[in-house]
Amino acid sequence: MSRLWTYERVGNAARAEQLLAGGGRALGGGTDLLTQLDRGIGDTETVVDLRGLGLDGIVVEDGRLRLGATARIADVARHAEVAALFGLLAECAGSIGSQQLREMGTVAGNLCQQPRCWYFRHPDLRCWLRGGDTCYAQIGDHRKHGLEPGDCISVAPSDLAAGLLALGAEVETNRRSMPLAELYRRPSEDDRSTLTLEPGEYVTQATVPRPADKSAYVRVGERAAWSFALAGVAAARFGDEHRLAAIGVANVPRLLDPADPLAGLPGLEMTAWKRRLLSTLVDDAVAAIAAD
Amino acid sequence: MNVHLTINGGSHTLDVPAQLSLAELLRDGLALPGTKVACGEGTCGSCTVLVDDRPVLACLTLAAACDGAKVRTIEGGSELLDRLQAAFTGHDAFQCGFCTPGQLMSALALLERSPHPSHDEIVDTMSGNLCRCGAYEGIAAAVAQVARVNG
Amino acid sequence: MARLVRTEAVVEGRVEQRYTVVEDDITPEYDLDRPPGVVGRPATRVTARSRVTGAATFTTDVRLPGMLEARVLRSPHANARVAALDLDAARAVEGVRCVLGPADASTLGETPALSDHPEFAGAAVAAVAADSGAAAEAALAALAPVFEELGFVTDLDSALARQEFIEEPSESERGDVAAALAAAEVVIESEFDAPAQMHNALESHCAVADWRADGLTVWTSTQSIYQAREQLATMFELDPERVRVICQFMGGGFGAKFGLGAEGVLATELSRRSRRPVRLVFSRRDENRAAGYRTPARISFSIGADAAGRLQAIEASAVMGLGTGGWAYPILEPAKALYACPNVHAMVLPVKQNLGPAAAFRAPGVMEGTWALEQALDEVAERVGLDPLELRRRNHADTDPGTGRPYTSKRLLESYDRAAELAGWDSRESLRGQGRVRRGMGCASQYWWGGGGPPAYAEVRIGAAARPVVTVGLQDLGTGVQTACAIVAAERLGVAVDEISVRAGDTALAGHGPFSGGSMTLASIAPAVRSAGHHVRTQLLDLAAEMFEISATDLTLEEGEIRSVDGALRHPITEVTSKLGNAWVTGSGSRAPNPEGMAVNTFGCQIATVAVDTATGVVRVERVVAVHDVGRIVNPMGARSQVVGGILQGLGFALMEERVIDPTTGTMVNAGLEDYKIPTLADLPEIVCEFVGQADPHLGLGIKGLGEPPVIPTAAAIGNAIAHAVGVRLRAAPYTPRRMLEALA
C-alpha cells in the first residue's frame, strides 16, 4: 500500500497542535496508525510523532498515578509501583497484544486506537464508520462484534481503558481535563469519530486519583496469548462502591452498571454467546473484588 | 529525511523517505536480510529487532523515527546471542527457520532485561513470535536453558 | 547397469504410474533389527548455522543487480468483469518497466495467471514491474480499473445448488451398503462442517526471475524444483537444460507450494519482457486470498454396526469447497480404508465457488476426513456402550480393506495400546470433575500413505579432507530432510554427521529428486543416498586395501577411521583420502521401486486431554499423546519436531483457525493474521511422542514418511475429548468460545 504522507517528530506542544489542527494524525507507537494508513483508513498528509514531547513519565505520588501519553505499555506493565498500588493497570497493560506491541505501544495510543471490526479494517470496503453508507457487519458476519445496537457494531479494544475506567481515571489533553469516559463518543451520522478530541487536541496524560481497595481484570481472547479480547471486564472496589468497565462489547470502552451490567447490550442472534461470556466475566470480576 | 542511527555497532547517516519502514531499510537499503517480513502489519513477530534494547516490529517502525537510535539485528551478534543460537540448534527450535531471527531477537531482549525469567514470562514474551512449523517446544526449552546457564 | 522399470506410487491418495531408471544396487540391505546407531541417533540440523544466524538466503532475500519489484492488481470483487483498465497510464508512471494486462496472459499456459474475468476477490488482473515497490504501487493506482460486478457463490449450499464442479462428482462402493444399513443393529447419522484452514507459511509465495539470453534462472519458494522447471520450460518454450530453479531455503509450504505458482509465472514473464531480474512477493493478505487453503467441507455419514460395535456399513458423502481450483483431495479415504468394514459407499462433490483455488494442505482431505470419521466412530461407540479404543480395535483392518492387499507393515494395535498407557486412558472417567471446568480425553486413529518411491537420485563424493558432500535434487521445506540425508550417508562413510555437507534446492546441482510432499521425500531419497554412499565406501575401501595390503572385505569405515574387522589396523580416513589430491571419489545411487501388490501405509493414534471452561467456552488442550507407526526413525530429534509441529497445526484447526467469507460481498474478512489466528507458544500443550514402528521390512532402510501423519488425528482427538468432557459434540470446527457457548446454551 502506498504511503504518501510525511513524518515529523515534533519537539514542542505548539508545533504538535499546529500540525494536528491541520489534519495531521498523532503517532505514539505507530502500531495502530500505520496499519490503518496502509489500509487506506483515515488518510493524512502528516504523521505527527508525539514522542519527543517528554510525555513518557510514569509517576506514583501520594497514592496518585500519572501515566504520560507516550509512556510505553510494557513499562506500565512492569512498573513496580504501578504493580503494587494499581495492579489492575499492570494486568490490563500486560494483556495487550504481544510483547513487541507492548514495547512499541503507548498509553495514549492504546486509549485512542480505532475500534476493531474486520469490515472497518478491510482494505477494499468503505463501511459506515469509514464514512460510507453500510455497516457491513450487521448484514454480514458479526460473530465477534458488539452488543450495543447502533449504526456501527465495531468494538473498542483497549484493555487499558477498561482498567482506567474502573479506577475512575481522568484524562488530560493539551486543552482540558475530563473523566476518561468523556474521551469517547459513539460515532454519529455527521461525525464518525469514536473520540471527542477536537482538531489540534491530543492526550497528554491519564491520571488515577487513588488506588482501589481491590481490583481485577478478566478477559477472554481467541487464543491463549496475543489476541484482542473477545470481551474484557475490569472491576475495582472502593469501600462499598463497585466500578465495572468492559471492552469488546461496544464502540467505546463502557462503564457497566453493577446492578444491571448487561443493560443496553442486547446483542444480535450471532452475538448472543457474547452476552453469556460478558455475564460470566462480570461475575468473575465481581467475585474477585469481594471483601475478604 | 536525514537520520543518524547505529546499526549493529556501525554508525550510519542516511537520507530516508518518511514512509520507509525500518524493515525495508535494513533488508533493501543496508543488505541485512536476516530480519524477515512475513505479515507486514505487526502480527507475526518475524521482523523483531532491538531498538534501544527494546524488541520492536521493524515492519511498523518508521526508519525516520529511529533518528539517534541504536538498532540491533540478527546479524549483529553478541555473546548471549551466540548462546541462544547454540541452544536453538541443540533443541531443534526451528524447522524452516523463517521466523527464527525474530524469535532469537525476542529471546535476546528478554534475557538482557530479565536474566532469570520464569516459565510464564518466557511463554508470555515469546508468544508474540508466531512459528507456523510449530517449533514452540524447542524455542521455550532453548530460552529456558540459556536462562539457567545465566544463573 | 541401468534399467528402465515401471512402478506405481501412491501420492496423497492418487495412484501414479511412472517409468523410472534404476541402477543395479550393490548396497547390502540395512539390517532390520539393527539398533539405532548413526541412523536413529538424535542429530541437530546440518542447516542450523545458516538458519539461526539469518544467513540463510530465502527467495524473499534474493537481491540481484538491476532487480525490479513486481506488484499485482487484484480484483476486490467476488466475481467481476474488467470493464476498463488503463495500461498506458501505468506504463507512463516513472520507474515502471513493464505492465502486463489480462490479454498478456494467454501465453502463460492453461490457467491464465491474469484474467479480465476475475472469479474471486483477490484474483489477479494485471501485473507491473518497476524500479521500486513504490513505483510499482503507483502504477497499480494508475491502472484505475473499472469492474462490472457479477453475481457470486461462496457458501457450500449455494455452490452445490449451482451444480458447477471443479472435478466431476465421484462415487465408489464396495458391498451393499443399503442392505447392510437396513440390517444393522445400530445406525448413527452424523454430519460435520470442516472449516477452510489457511496455510500461512510465514514465507509467502514468492519468486525472483532472471531471464537472460543464455537461459532462465528462477528462485522460488517451491516444494518441487523439478516440476517448476518443467512448467517453466513448457510455458516459455525453453530448453529445460537452460532453465534453472533454485530453492535453497524455504520458509514453509505445507502443501501450498507445489511446482510453479502464479508468482513464478508472472515474475518470469515480467523478466522476459523487461530483460531485468524481477522479484514478486505476495503480501500476507494476497497469500490468504489467492494462494490456497485446506478445503472446507460438509461431511456426512450413516454408519451401521452390530451390537458388538463391528462396523457393517458406512455411507459417506462430502461436499468439498474447492473455490476455483485444486483437486478432490481424498477426504473419504479414511472412511473407505481405515477400518475393516465390508460395505462402504462414498460420494464426493467437489464444488466450484467464487473463491481462490484450494491447495493441498498437510494430509489434504485425509486430515479433515479423519476429523469427521473419528468423531462419528465415537458416536457409534457411545451407542453400543463400548470404549472408543476398544471399538477401534474390534474394527482393525488386517489387510487393506479396498484391495485386500497385505500391508508392508502395520502396528496400529500397538499404537493404541501404547497411547492408552501413556495417556492413562483407563482412568479417563475420573478426569471429568463436577465444577465449571470439565476435563475429557478423546482418541483418534491415523491413516496415511508415505512409502515414497522412485524416481530419486543422489550423488556422494569425498575428497582429500574426508568431508563428504551429498548432493540431492530436492528442496527442504524445513522438515530436516537434508539432515536425514547426512545421517544416512554418515552411516555408510563412517564419518560424523556434522562432517557432511548436503547440497540441495537447485536443479543445476543434481539429478531428479522427489518433491516435498505426501510424506514421501525421505522415504524416496534415503535409499538413493545410502546407495551412493555405499559406492563411495566401496571405492575407499579398495584404495585402503591397496595401501595397507589387506583384503577390502576385511576393512570397515567407522568413526572417521578405516579399521580392519579384527581391530588390528586403524587409520584415519584422511590417510587414504589425502592421497586423492584434488580428485574426488564419487558415487551415485537411485531409488528402487516398492514391492508390488502390497499396501504401504503409516498408522498411529493420538489421545488428547482437554479442559473446557463451560462458563466462558474456552477450551484448553492440556496434553496430547502421539504414538505413530512410521517405520524406522532416522533422526529422533527431527521426528519429534515433525510430530509437535503437526499437532500444533491440528490444534489450530480444532480451536481457532477458520477462513471467514463475508456473505454480502463474498470477500475474505480475516485475510490478515490479526483476525486469522494460528497457535502461539502459549497454546502449546504437553506433548508425549513415541514411535512404535520398527523398520518396514519391505522398504529401503525400512523408512516410511512422517510429514503428514501427526496432523491427521489431533483435531479429531480434541473433538472427542470435548464431547467426553461436556457431553456435547460440536458439529463444526474450530471450537471457539462462541461455538462452545452456543452448544452449551
Q: Which amino acid type is present at position C374?
A: E
Q: Could you give the CA distance from residue C442 to residue C162 in angstroms, rounded to a whole number?
A: 38
pLDDT in tens, A225-251: 999 999 999 999 999 999 999 999 999
pLDDT given at position C106:
60
Q: What is the grid cell recorded at A200?
A: 489540534
Residue of C41, C47, C49, C53 best to disrupt the B interface, most CBs of B under 10 A: C53
Q: Which DSSP string corresponds to B11-29?
A: EEEEE--TT-BHHHIIIII
First to last CA, chain C: 71
Residue A263: other Cβ atoms inside 10 A? 9
Q: Classify residue B113 by burial, with Cβ atoms within 10 Å: 0-12, 13-18, 19+.
A: middle
Q: Classify residue C599 by burial, with Cβ atoms within 10 Å: 0-12, 13-18, 19+.
A: buried
CB burial of C15-29 (b: ≥16 within 10 Å; e: otherwise) equals eeeeebebbebebee
- 3 state SS of A160: helix
Longest dimension (CA), chain B: 45
3-state secondary structure C278-327: EEEECCHHHHHHHCCCECCEEEEEEEEECCCCCEEEEEEEEEEECCCCCC
Q: Could you give the CA distance from residue C54 to residue B75 in angstroms, rounded to a whole number?
A: 7
Residue C582: other Cβ atoms inside 10 A? 6
Q: Which of C390, C384, C408, C407 is nearest to C337 (CA)?
A: C407
Least confident piece of the model among A94-103, A189-198, C9-18, C190-199? C9-18
**Residues on chain A touching C667 (C-beta within 8 angstroms):** 122, 124-125
Per the CB < 8 Å rule, is B57 touching A72?
A: no
**Residues on chain C touching A281 (C-beta within 8 angstroms):** 616
Inter-residue contact C219 to C505 (CB < 8 Å): no
Q: At what angle do helices C636-655 and C714-726 cross, to 10 degrees?
A: 50
Q: Which of C582, C434, C457 is nearest to C514 (CA)?
A: C457
Q: Could you give the CA distance from residue B14 to residue B17 in angstroms, rounded to a whole number?
A: 10
Q: Could you give the CA distance from residue C455 to residue C141 in angstroms, rounded to a whole number?
A: 47
- 3 state SS of C613: strand
- CA distances (Å), origin C556, targets A105, C438, C541: 63, 60, 7
Q: Could you give the CA distance from residue C647 to residue B83 in angstroms, rounded to a whole number?
A: 28
Per the CB < 8 Å rule, is C665 touching A118?
A: no
What's the complex ipTM?
0.98
CB burial of C105-127 (b: ≥16 within 10 Å; e: otherwise) equals beebeeebbbbbebbbbbbbbbb
pLDDT given at position A1:
44
Q: At what angle do helices C737-744 and A272-288 cross, to 10 degrees?
A: 100
pLDDT in tens, C198-209: 999 999 999 999
Task: Quote the strand ranges of C674-735, DSSP E.
Answer: 686-691
Per the CB < 8 Å rule, is B96 touching C680?
A: no
Q: Could you give the CA distance from residue C29 to residue C142 in angstroms, rounded to a whole number?
A: 65
pLDDT given at position C107:
62
Least confident piece of the model among A36-40, A146-150, B83-87? A36-40
Q: Could you give the CA distance from residue A120 to residue A112 in angstroms, rounded to a whole number?
A: 16
Backbone φ and ψ for B124, nearest 5 degrees, come out as -60, -45
Per the CB < 8 Å rule, is A223 touching C745?
A: no
Per the CB < 8 Å rule, is C677 touching A119?
A: no
CA angle B108, B112, B115 (to 5 degrees): 110
**Residues on chain A touching C617 (C-beta within 8 angstroms):** 220, 273, 276-277
Q: Could you give the CA distance from residue A130 to residue C296 in angstroms, rounded to a whole number?
A: 32
pLDDT given at position B151:
58
**Average pLDDT score over residue span B58-64:** 97
Q: Classify residue C189 by burial, with Cβ atoms within 10 Å: 0-12, 13-18, 19+.
A: exposed
Does residue C650 belong to the interface with chain B, where contact is any CB pair within 8 Å?
no
**Average pLDDT score over residue span A196-208:** 98
Q: Is-cis flag, bond preceding C455, omega within 30?
A: yes
pLDDT given at position C226:
95
A contact set with B (CB within 8 A)? 3-7, 9, 27, 29-31, 34-35, 38, 47, 49, 51, 72, 74, 94, 97-101, 103-104, 224-226
Looking from the CA of C235 toward its CB, the CA atoms found within 13 Å total 28
CB-closest option in C615, C663, C736 to A141: C663
**Residues on chain C touching B37 (C-beta within 8 angstroms):** 60
What residues have CB less than 8 Å from C334, skipping those under 6 apart? C366, C369, C370, C373, C374, C447
Does residue C54 belong to the interface with chain B, where contact is any CB pair within 8 Å?
yes
* B4 Cα to chain C: minimum distance (Å): 23
In this structure, the strands spanning B48-51 and A25-27 are unpaired
In terms of CA atoms, which chain A residue is nearest residue C617? A277
Per the CB < 8 Å rule, is B41 touching C49?
A: no
Beta-bridge partners for C438: C612
Q: Could you give the CA distance from residue A16 to residue A27 in angstroms, rounded to a whole number?
A: 11
- Strand (E) or helix (H) holding A241: strand A241-247
Scanning C63-92 for CB atoms below 8 A from B yields 63
Number of H helices, E strands in chain B: 5, 5
Does residue C687 belong to the interface with chain B, where contact is any CB pair within 8 Å?
yes
DSSP letter (8 states) at residue C611: E
pLDDT given at position C22:
72
Per the CB < 8 Å rule, is A119 touching C669?
A: yes
What residues have CB less than 8 Å from A81, skipping those under 6 apart? A60
CA torsion angle A122 A126 A127 A133 (round to 10): -160
**Residues on chain B touching C48 (C-beta within 8 angstroms):** 88-89
Query: Where residue B113 falls among pLDDT bands split at 50, 70, 90?
Result: very high
Chains that touch C (3 or more CB pairs under 8 A): A, B
- 3 state SS of C472: strand
pLDDT given at position C1:
62
* B25 Cα to chain A: minimum distance (Å): 15
Per the CB < 8 Å rule, is B136 touching C56?
A: no
Q: Could you give the CA distance from residue C676 to residue C668 in angstroms, rounded to a whole number?
A: 10
Q: Could you give the CA distance from residue C562 to residue C541 in angstroms, rounded to a whole number?
A: 8
Q: Is-cis flag, bond preceding C277, omega within 30?
A: no
Query: Where residue B104 falls among pLDDT bands split at 50, 70, 90?
Result: very high
Residue whose cell numbers read 468497565: A245
**Average pLDDT score over residue span B56-84:** 97
Q: Is the pTM of this model over 0.95?
A: yes
Phi-psi region of A200 (alpha: psi -120 to 50; beta: other; left: phi over 0): left
CA torsion angle C646 C648 C651 C655 (round to 10): -140
pLDDT along chain C (745 residues), means of 10: 74 76 74 81 96 97 97 98 98 98 74 91 97 96 98 97 96 97 98 98 98 97 96 94 97 95 95 98 97 98 98 98 96 98 98 97 98 98 98 98 96 98 97 96 97 92 96 93 96 95 94 87 95 96 95 94 94 95 95 92 98 98 98 96 98 98 98 97 98 89 95 98 98 98 97
Inter-residue contact C353 to C324 (CB < 8 Å): yes
- Strand (E) or helix (H) holding C177: helix C177-183
In terms of CA atoms, which chain C residue is nearest residue B96? C478
Q: How many CB pairs under 8 A join A and B?
A: 79
Q: Could you give the CA distance from residue C629 to residue A7 in angstroms, rounded to a whole number?
A: 59
Q: At what angle do helices C366-384 and C714-726 cross, to 10 degrees?
A: 30
CB-closest option in C620, C674, C737 to A230: C737
DSSP letter (8 states) at residue C94: T
pLDDT given at position C4:
76
